[in-house]
Amino acid sequence: MTTYDIAHELLQDTNAAWTRAGAFALAEHLEQYEEETGEEMEMDVVAIRCDFSEYSSLEDWAVDYFSDSKQASDAMGLELDMDGETWTSDEEEIRDAIRSYIQDNGQLVEFDGGIIVSSF
């Protein structure tokens, strides 16, 4: 299958919420995985939908994944302000911490318009 074919199949899955850009980024990621491992993957949109999720940003993923700011801070080594709700680091440092956490525990696909994260 071509990148276009894979992305088209992903976009046809009405139970998933892939954006066009996200579907193409994930298709490219899956193709790269095949090349790196030498394993041919079976196209199973249900399994892919269960294994990966799309978010508009790293911060949106963190809000969805962690139950609260304290848990997120503990996991990623970020400090909270006195209210215990806001990280004291600058935005790039926060993004780097989230990115590292995801990469240490799963797969991260970044593209213009969002990210895709594997379930872990």
What's the rounded mean pLDDT across residues 47-51?
A: 96
pTM: 0.86
Extended strands (E) in the chain: 52-55, 108-111, 114-118
pLDDT in tens, 3-26: 999 999 999 999 999 999 999 999
Burial of 76 (0-12, 13-18, 19+ CB in 10 A): buried
The domain containing residue 73 runs over which residues?
Answer: 3-118
Q: What angle do CA 67, 30, 113 make, to 5 degrees?
A: 55
Total domain count for the chain? 1
What is the pLDDT of the chain when averaged over all its residues? 92
Residue 56 has pLDDT above 70, yes or no: yes
* Residue 84 pLDDT greater than 70, yes or no: no
Question: How confident is the model at residue 89, as a pLDDT?
Answer: 80
